[in-house]
Amino acid sequence: MDTRLDDAFAAVPREDFLPPDQRAFAHQDRPIPIGHRATNSQPWTVRYMLRHLDARPGHRVLDVGSGSGWTAGLLGWLVGPEGLVVGVEIVPELVEMARGHLGDRFGHVRFEVARQRVLGWPDEAPYDRILVSADGRIVPDALLDQLAPGGRMVLPVDGDMYVLDKDAEGVVSRRKTGDRFVFVPLR
Ligand SMILES: C[S@@+](CC[C@H](N)C(=O)[O-])C[C@H]1O[C@@H](n2cnc3c(N)ncnc32)[C@H](O)[C@@H]1O
Protein backbone atom coordinates (compact mmCIF):
# COMPACT_ATOMS: atom_id res chain seq x y z
CA MET A 1 0.00 0.00 0.00
CA ASP A 2 2.77 2.44 0.87
CA THR A 3 4.27 2.29 -2.63
CA ARG A 4 0.85 2.99 -4.12
CA LEU A 5 0.46 5.92 -1.75
CA ASP A 6 3.88 7.25 -2.80
CA ASP A 7 2.77 7.02 -6.43
CA ALA A 8 -0.57 8.70 -5.69
CA PHE A 9 1.09 11.59 -3.86
CA ALA A 10 3.54 12.02 -6.74
CA ALA A 11 0.79 11.92 -9.37
CA VAL A 12 -1.58 14.29 -7.55
CA PRO A 13 0.59 17.09 -6.13
CA ARG A 14 -0.76 19.01 -3.18
CA GLU A 15 0.24 22.37 -4.66
CA ASP A 16 -2.28 21.92 -7.49
CA PHE A 17 -5.05 21.96 -4.85
CA LEU A 18 -4.05 25.11 -2.98
CA PRO A 19 -5.04 28.73 -3.60
CA PRO A 20 -2.30 30.45 -5.65
CA ASP A 21 -1.04 32.48 -2.67
CA GLN A 22 -0.56 29.30 -0.59
CA ARG A 23 1.21 27.12 -3.17
CA ALA A 24 4.68 28.03 -1.97
CA PHE A 25 3.83 26.31 1.35
CA ALA A 26 2.71 23.01 -0.20
CA HIS A 27 5.82 21.16 1.03
CA GLN A 28 5.15 22.12 4.67
CA ASP A 29 3.63 19.33 6.75
CA ARG A 30 0.81 21.36 8.26
CA PRO A 31 -2.81 22.17 7.39
CA ILE A 32 -3.08 25.11 4.99
CA PRO A 33 -6.04 27.51 5.03
CA ILE A 34 -8.12 27.51 1.85
CA GLY A 35 -10.78 30.01 2.95
CA HIS A 36 -14.34 29.51 4.21
CA ARG A 37 -13.07 28.22 7.59
CA ALA A 38 -11.61 25.16 5.84
CA THR A 39 -8.11 23.76 5.44
CA ASN A 40 -6.23 21.54 3.07
CA SER A 41 -5.28 18.80 5.55
CA GLN A 42 -1.76 18.06 6.76
CA PRO A 43 -0.05 15.60 4.38
CA TRP A 44 0.96 13.29 7.22
CA THR A 45 -2.67 13.04 8.31
CA VAL A 46 -3.94 12.50 4.76
CA ARG A 47 -1.46 9.70 4.26
CA TYR A 48 -2.38 8.16 7.63
CA MET A 49 -6.09 8.16 6.77
CA LEU A 50 -5.55 6.80 3.26
CA ARG A 51 -3.37 4.01 4.61
CA HIS A 52 -6.15 2.97 6.97
CA LEU A 53 -8.82 3.39 4.30
CA ASP A 54 -7.08 1.02 1.88
CA ALA A 55 -8.92 2.21 -1.25
CA ARG A 56 -8.32 -0.17 -4.14
CA PRO A 57 -8.78 -0.10 -7.92
CA GLY A 58 -12.46 -0.24 -8.83
CA HIS A 59 -13.76 0.94 -5.45
CA ARG A 60 -16.62 3.42 -5.15
CA VAL A 61 -15.56 6.05 -2.64
CA LEU A 62 -17.32 8.89 -0.83
CA ASP A 63 -15.06 11.75 0.32
CA VAL A 64 -16.99 13.76 2.93
CA GLY A 65 -15.59 17.27 3.40
CA SER A 66 -13.79 17.36 0.07
CA GLY A 67 -12.58 20.94 0.61
CA SER A 68 -9.74 21.75 -1.79
CA GLY A 69 -10.32 18.49 -3.69
CA TRP A 70 -6.91 17.04 -2.89
CA THR A 71 -8.08 13.93 -1.03
CA ALA A 72 -10.64 13.23 -3.77
CA GLY A 73 -7.88 13.56 -6.37
CA LEU A 74 -5.63 11.15 -4.45
CA LEU A 75 -8.53 8.72 -4.11
CA GLY A 76 -9.20 9.10 -7.83
CA TRP A 77 -5.69 7.90 -8.53
CA LEU A 78 -5.99 5.01 -6.04
CA VAL A 79 -9.31 3.65 -7.38
CA GLY A 80 -8.43 4.20 -11.05
CA PRO A 81 -10.81 4.74 -13.95
CA GLU A 82 -12.88 1.64 -13.06
CA GLY A 83 -13.74 3.24 -9.74
CA LEU A 84 -15.75 6.27 -8.66
CA VAL A 85 -15.06 9.10 -6.22
CA VAL A 86 -17.79 11.47 -5.07
CA GLY A 87 -16.50 14.41 -3.06
CA VAL A 88 -19.22 16.11 -1.06
CA GLU A 89 -18.69 19.50 0.53
CA ILE A 90 -20.93 21.88 2.45
CA VAL A 91 -19.41 25.11 1.07
CA PRO A 92 -20.44 25.69 -2.57
CA GLU A 93 -17.45 27.96 -3.25
CA LEU A 94 -15.10 25.15 -2.23
CA VAL A 95 -16.85 22.76 -4.59
CA GLU A 96 -16.20 25.19 -7.43
CA MET A 97 -12.60 25.56 -6.28
CA ALA A 98 -12.11 21.77 -6.10
CA ARG A 99 -13.51 21.31 -9.61
CA GLY A 100 -11.04 23.90 -10.89
CA HIS A 101 -8.17 22.24 -9.05
CA LEU A 102 -9.02 18.79 -10.38
CA GLY A 103 -9.37 20.04 -13.94
CA ASP A 104 -9.79 17.23 -16.45
CA ARG A 105 -7.35 14.79 -14.87
CA PHE A 106 -9.92 12.21 -13.66
CA GLY A 107 -13.29 11.68 -15.33
CA HIS A 108 -14.35 9.34 -12.50
CA VAL A 109 -14.01 11.98 -9.72
CA ARG A 110 -16.90 14.39 -9.09
CA PHE A 111 -17.72 17.08 -6.54
CA GLU A 112 -21.19 17.78 -5.19
CA VAL A 113 -22.56 20.43 -2.84
CA ALA A 114 -24.05 18.76 0.23
CA ARG A 115 -27.81 19.18 0.45
CA GLN A 116 -29.25 20.84 3.53
CA ARG A 117 -29.79 18.36 6.37
CA VAL A 118 -28.40 15.49 4.25
CA LEU A 119 -25.07 14.05 5.34
CA GLY A 120 -22.95 12.42 2.64
CA TRP A 121 -24.31 11.68 -0.83
CA PRO A 122 -26.97 8.95 -0.53
CA ASP A 123 -27.85 9.23 -4.24
CA GLU A 124 -24.97 6.97 -5.27
CA ALA A 125 -24.67 4.80 -2.16
CA PRO A 126 -23.52 2.26 -1.25
CA TYR A 127 -19.80 3.04 -1.20
CA ASP A 128 -16.93 0.60 -0.65
CA ARG A 129 -14.99 3.28 1.18
CA ILE A 130 -15.96 6.48 3.01
CA LEU A 131 -13.38 9.04 4.10
CA VAL A 132 -14.52 11.82 6.44
CA SER A 133 -12.24 14.84 6.90
CA ALA A 134 -14.25 16.71 9.55
CA ASP A 135 -14.94 15.71 13.16
CA GLY A 136 -18.58 14.85 13.82
CA ARG A 137 -18.13 13.97 17.52
CA ILE A 138 -20.16 10.80 16.92
CA VAL A 139 -20.23 8.13 14.21
CA PRO A 140 -23.12 9.34 12.03
CA ASP A 141 -25.70 6.63 11.28
CA ALA A 142 -26.44 8.42 7.99
CA LEU A 143 -22.92 7.63 6.77
CA LEU A 144 -22.98 4.05 8.07
CA ASP A 145 -26.17 3.56 6.02
CA GLN A 146 -24.21 4.64 2.91
CA LEU A 147 -21.44 2.09 3.50
CA ALA A 148 -21.60 -1.13 1.45
CA PRO A 149 -21.38 -4.59 3.03
CA GLY A 150 -17.66 -5.37 3.14
CA GLY A 151 -16.95 -1.63 3.16
CA ARG A 152 -14.77 0.54 5.35
CA MET A 153 -15.08 4.07 6.73
CA VAL A 154 -12.28 6.15 8.28
CA LEU A 155 -13.26 9.20 10.32
CA PRO A 156 -12.24 11.36 13.26
CA VAL A 157 -14.58 11.24 16.24
CA ASP A 158 -13.93 13.65 19.09
CA GLY A 159 -10.22 13.71 18.24
CA ASP A 160 -9.78 9.94 17.88
CA MET A 161 -9.35 8.31 14.49
CA TYR A 162 -11.75 5.41 13.91
CA VAL A 163 -11.78 2.62 11.37
CA LEU A 164 -15.22 1.07 10.88
CA ASP A 165 -15.74 -2.14 8.93
CA LYS A 166 -19.13 -3.41 7.81
CA ASP A 167 -19.20 -7.18 7.21
CA ALA A 168 -21.17 -9.03 4.56
CA GLU A 169 -24.16 -9.29 6.93
CA GLY A 170 -24.08 -5.57 7.65
CA VAL A 171 -22.60 -5.91 11.15
CA VAL A 172 -20.27 -3.00 11.93
CA SER A 173 -17.07 -3.31 13.97
CA ARG A 174 -15.07 -0.27 15.04
CA ARG A 175 -11.60 0.36 16.35
CA LYS A 176 -9.57 3.41 17.30
CA THR A 177 -6.22 3.70 15.59
CA GLY A 178 -4.68 5.14 18.78
CA ASP A 179 -3.58 8.53 17.47
CA ARG A 180 -5.32 11.87 18.09
CA PHE A 181 -6.11 14.58 15.55
CA VAL A 182 -7.66 18.02 15.36
CA PHE A 183 -10.16 18.51 12.51
CA VAL A 184 -12.63 21.22 11.64
CA PRO A 185 -16.09 20.26 12.91
CA LEU A 186 -18.56 18.36 10.75
CA ARG A 187 -21.37 20.89 10.44
C1 LIG B 1 -10.18 19.54 6.69
S2 LIG B 1 -11.25 20.24 5.50
C3 LIG B 1 -11.10 19.29 4.05
C4 LIG B 1 -9.84 18.73 3.60
C5 LIG B 1 -10.01 18.15 2.23
N6 LIG B 1 -10.31 16.73 2.28
C7 LIG B 1 -8.85 18.47 1.35
O8 LIG B 1 -8.30 17.57 0.73
O9 LIG B 1 -8.56 19.64 1.20
C10 LIG B 1 -12.86 19.68 6.04
C11 LIG B 1 -13.99 20.11 5.14
O12 LIG B 1 -15.22 19.56 5.63
C13 LIG B 1 -16.24 20.43 5.23
N14 LIG B 1 -17.48 20.05 5.93
C15 LIG B 1 -17.84 20.30 7.21
N16 LIG B 1 -19.04 19.76 7.47
C17 LIG B 1 -19.45 19.12 6.33
C18 LIG B 1 -20.60 18.37 5.98
N19 LIG B 1 -21.61 18.14 6.84
N20 LIG B 1 -20.68 17.85 4.72
C21 LIG B 1 -19.69 18.07 3.83
N22 LIG B 1 -18.57 18.78 4.10
C23 LIG B 1 -18.45 19.30 5.34
C24 LIG B 1 -15.68 21.79 5.54
O25 LIG B 1 -16.36 22.83 4.85
C26 LIG B 1 -14.23 21.62 5.07
O27 LIG B 1 -14.05 22.05 3.75
Known catalytic membership, residue 173: no
The segments of the chain whose pLDDT lies below 70 read 1
Pair type for strands 172-180 and 160-166: antiparallel
Q: How many domains does the chain have?
A: 1
Helix H, strand E, coil C: the string for 153-174 is EEEEECCEEEEEEECCCCCEEE
- Farthest CA pair distance, the chain: 49
**What is the per-residue pLDDT for 2?**
82
Nearest to 7 by CA among 82, 41, 62, 57: 57
Determine, yes or no, domain membership for 185. no
Determine, yes or no, domain membership for 82. yes
For ligand 1, what atom is nearest to the CA of residue 98? 9
Determine, yes or no, domain membership for 187. no
Q: Look up the CATH number of the domain holding residue 77.
A: 3.40.50.150
**What pTM was computed for the model?**
0.98
Residue 53: domain span: 2-180
Using the mean position of ligand 1's atoms as its centre, give its distance from the Cα of residue 183 in Å: 9
Determine, yes or no, domain membership for 11. yes
**What is the per-residue pLDDT for 8?**
98
